[in-house]
Amino acid sequence: MSAVARVGTQGRAAFLSEVSEAESPVGSRSREITCAKCNLRETCLAANTPLEDLKRIERIVYARRRIMRGERLFSAGDNFTSLYAIRTGSFKTTIVDCEGREQVTGFFMTGELLGMGGLASGRFEGTAIALEDSDVCAMPYALIEEIGREVPSLQRGLHLVLAREIVRNHGVMLLLGSMSAQERLAAFLVNLSKRYLRRGYSSSNFILRMTRDEIGSYLGLKVETVSRLFSRFHERGVLEVRQKEVRIVDLMALGRVLAPSSAGE
Amino acid sequence: MSAVARVGTQGRAAFLSEVSEAESPVGSRSREITCAKCNLRETCLAANTPLEDLKRIERIVYARRRIMRGERLFSAGDNFTSLYAIRTGSFKTTIVDCEGREQVTGFFMTGELLGMGGLASGRFEGTAIALEDSDVCAMPYALIEEIGREVPSLQRGLHLVLAREIVRNHGVMLLLGSMSAQERLAAFLVNLSKRYLRRGYSSSNFILRMTRDEIGSYLGLKVETVSRLFSRFHERGVLEVRQKEVRIVDLMALGRVLAPSSAGE
DNA sequence: CGCGAGCTTGATGCCGATCAATGCATGTGG
DNA sequence: CCACATGCATTGATCGGCATCAAGCTCGCG
């Protein structure tokens, strides 16, 4: 609630518009939001599923869950039973290695899927934590598997989603392995920008749901470095930052940061 | 279906003829190496498939290909039609970003699968290059999908393989994002060691199929750093290195390097 | 109004990159 | 068989980017 409220004060129009109808009493009558009506269908498992098959798919999504900010959707080691689609809100996922090092492996927003790593071993490999009050559709894997046999597009949808996660990971590996700190941050912001755009929000004006620390963890940098980079981008007139609110003034310039040739300035 | 056609016309005669001889040590007549007899079944798509279903699965693997060292199995942008299972040999996969930076995203050995990223967009997202003369089974995705509908264990096998790749990627992200250079190299060697062990080879004594440069690219380090680290490990009596030949003298110590507490020495 | 979590900014140091040179294997042609 | 070239690996010297340490600062909240 609090998060939604906060968003509301700062950016109702922008953030809630497309969701507002489907969800107005967010989650109150979850039963009524069918896949057929869901505006996220394109990015979700149901992508490209003909209308006549949607009914069968809806059997999968029988459970909705509301996760409050800071709470966990699942934890590393939990039994894997379902994938989760984000209907509203956003999450981070983290993993810890044997030495206790923790790292953010991704930030996820509306329409994106969580929990795919759990498929590998039957237990979740990481932890998903809500960055704001969020709701998700739980989709039991057993049902996806079963219904997927009858509905090929669902099958493909799952493959697509898994493969996209792999491609995304490779992008992050590239980022972590061969980009400088400022290139990483620029890439991160450009990526966020694109994802907001695709969802119909402003691509230049958005709110960072995560802390600087979390951004740093994701990008393999320390908080101080992230903070300094924000300042530097600001000085250069590329960005305006006020707390969590970001305004990309010069998207082209931000993109250019990614080119190694810009090292000179 | 275009996939099937292409593989068929281009492939059958050419591929199989050269394979048959080359394979003599493993299984003299390539035709005869069925999934049922394949010693890689456990790690492959066919994992956990009951014997009576194996025949159907074998329809998938009708094309074998031999790739000579340095040659490409597929290139970024190529049309995706098949996944590839490595029967013998090893590969590296690389991606390049828009600025031309190239990075190794993985090293793959016997029994492991390649090309999964291509599922996301219908085109391969990266390039796979043989590190030694290798052969692979080509498995057309269209067939996997079709037969998967009848054979649940195949379906699961695919999901498993995709999910494992995701988990592996997360591990690499952790490595790149929060480990020191020497921790990365140690982790890399320990990982190789385990994989050789699982395949029945010596876990302490093996040959690096890749150059220092490629290791560096994978680990986000420069050649010089990799080389220096090898030397350092050698000085400490943890490793013996002669060119590409590695002998892990003290696996425990190598594991301990991974613990941040060892920073002191 | 004061506390604390999260953010910013500065000073300093270290790890790994970079630059540069040498060594060492493999291969090729005379 | 040697001379030479080429690709890969090692080692040293130096440099720079980011981490680290250390204060302040801002804002939301009790």
DSSP A57-100: HHTT--EEEEE-TT-EEE-TTSBP-EEEEEEESEEEEEEE-TT-
Cβ of A101 within 8 Å of Cβ of B166? The answer is no
The confidence band for B10, taking pLDDT boundaries of 50, 70 and 90, is very low
pLDDT at position B258, please?
Answer: 77
Q: How confident is the model at residue A9 (pLDDT cuts 50, 70, 90)?
A: very low
Q: Which amino acid is at B242?
A: R
Measured CA to CA in angstroms, residue B191 lies from A133, B74, B185, B204 at distances of 39, 25, 10, 11
User: What's residue B114's pLDDT?
Assistant: 96
Is the pLDDT assigned to residue B8 strictly greater than 70? Answer: no
Q: Are B72 and B128 contacting, i.e. CB atoms less than 8 angstroms apart?
A: yes
CB contact under 8 A, B95 and A170: yes
What topology is assigned to A2-175 in CATH? Jelly Rolls (2.60.120)
Which segment of A233-237, B37-41, B168-172, B228-232 scores lowest on mean pLDDT? B37-41
B182 vs A12: which has the higher pLDDT? B182
Q: Is B220 within 7 A of strand C by CB distance?
A: yes
HEC string for A159-183: HHHHHHHHHHHHHHHHHHHHCCHHH
Q: Is the per-residue pLDDT at B218 higher than 70?
A: yes
- CA angle B182/B183/B184 to nearest 5° reads 90
- The spacing between the Cα labelled CA in A184 and the C1' in C11, in angstroms, equals 25
Give the separation between CA B86 and CA B109, rounded to whole angstroms. 7
**How many contacts, defined by CB atoms under 8 Å, are there between A and B?**
140
Domain assignments of chain B as residue spans, ordered by start:
2-173, 180-264
Which has the minimum average pLDDT: A26-30, A159-163, A216-220, B51-55? A26-30
Q: Answer yes or no: same fold for B2-173 and B180-264.
A: no
More confident position, A63 or A170? A170
Taking domain A180-264, whether its CATH number is 1.10.10.10 is answered by: yes
CA B261, distance to chain mean position in Å, is 32
Q: What is the pLDDT of residue A14?
A: 33
Closest partner CB to B178 (pick from A103, A166, A170): A103
DSSP for chain B, please give it.
-HHHHHIIIIIHHHHHHHHHHHTHHHHSSGGG--TTT-TTTTTSTTTT--HHHHHHHHTT--EEEEE-TT-EEE-TTSBP-EEEEEEESEEEEEEE-TT--EEEEEEEETT-EE-GGGGGTSB-SSEEEESSSEEEEEEEHHHHHHHHHH-HHHHHHHHHHHHHHHHHHHHHHHHHHH--HHHHHHHHHHHHHHHHHHTTS-SSEEE--S-HHHHHHHHT--HHHHHHHHHHHHHTTSEEEETTEEEES-HHHHHHHTSGGGGG-
Our measurement of CA A173 to C1' C15, in angstroms, reads 21
pLDDT at B9 (0 to 100): 36
B57-79 per-residue burial string, b: 16 or more CB within 10 A, e: under 16? bbebbbbbbbbeeeeebbebeee
Task: Return all residues near B184 (Cβ < 8 A) that are at least 6 apart.
Answer: B175, B176, B219, B220, B221
Q: What is the pLDDT of chain B when averaged over all its residues? A: 84
Distance CA A183, CA A198 (A): 22
* A15 vs A135, residue with greater confidence: A135
CB A102 within 8 A of CB A53: no
- What is the CA B42 to chain-centroid distance, rounded? 15
B50 or B110: which carries more pLDDT confidence? B110
Kindly report the nearest CA distance between residue A163 and chain B, in angstroms: 5
Q: Which of A56, A133, A118 is nearest to A83 (CA)?
A: A118
A106 vs A219: CA distance, rounded Å = 10
Nearest-Cα residue of chain B relative to residue A157: B120
**pLDDT at B223 exceeding the cut of 50:** yes
- Condensed to tens digits (0 to 9), the pLDDT of residues B120-151 reads 999 999 999 999 999 999 999 999 999 999 88
The C-alpha R_g of chain A, in whole angstroms, comes to 19
Contacts of A174 in chain B (CB under 8 A): 95, 97, 101, 103, 105
Distance B84 CA to D9 C1' (A): 32
Q: Looking at residues A200-209, what average pLDDT do you find?
A: 93
Helix or strand holding residue A10 (H, E): helix A2-23
Question: What percentage of chain A carries pLDDT values higher than 90?
Answer: 63
| Average pLDDT rounded to a whole number, residues A76-103 | 93
**Given CA atoms B234, B237, B242, B246 in this order, what sign does their dihedral have?**
negative
The beta-carbon neighbor of B120 closest among A160, A219, A258 is A160
B243 touches strand D (CB under 7 A): yes
Query: Between B103, B145, B258, which is nearest A178 by CB?
Result: B103
For residue range B176-190, list pLDDT tens digits in order: 999 999 999 999 999
Mean pLDDT of B16-23: 34
Other CB atoms within a 10 A radius of the CB of residue A224 amount to 10
The Cα of A56 is separated from the nearest Cα of chain B by a number of Å equal to 16
Give the model's pLDDT for residue A22.
37
Q: Please provide the size of chain B in residues.
A: 265
- Nucleotides of strand C within 7 Å of the protein's CB atoms: 6-11, 15-20, 25
**B158 neighbourhood in chain A, CB within 8 Å:** 159
- How is domain B2-173 classified at the architecture level of CATH? Sandwich (2.60)
pLDDT confidence tier of residue B204, bands split at 50, 70 and 90: very high
Would you place residue B30 in the very low, low, confident or very high pLDDT band (cuts 50, 70, 90)?
very low
Pick the range with the lowest mean pLDDT from A239-253, B16-30, B35-49, B52-66: B16-30
- In the structure, what pLDDT confidence band is assigned to residue A60 with cuts at 50, 70 and 90? confident
8-state DSSP, A24: T
pLDDT tens string B75-117: 999 999 999 999 999 999 999 988 888 999 999 999 999 999 9
pLDDT at B40: 74
With a pLDDT cut of 70, the percent of chain A lying above it is 84
Kindly indicate the confidence band of residue A27, based on its pLDDT and cuts at 50, 70 and 90. Answer: very low
**Does residue B224 have a pLDDT over 60?**
yes
The pLDDT of A125-135, averaged and rounded, is 95
- pLDDT at residue B263 greater than cutoff 50: no
Average pLDDT over residues A26-30: 42
- Please state the rounded mean pLDDT for residues B38-44: 73
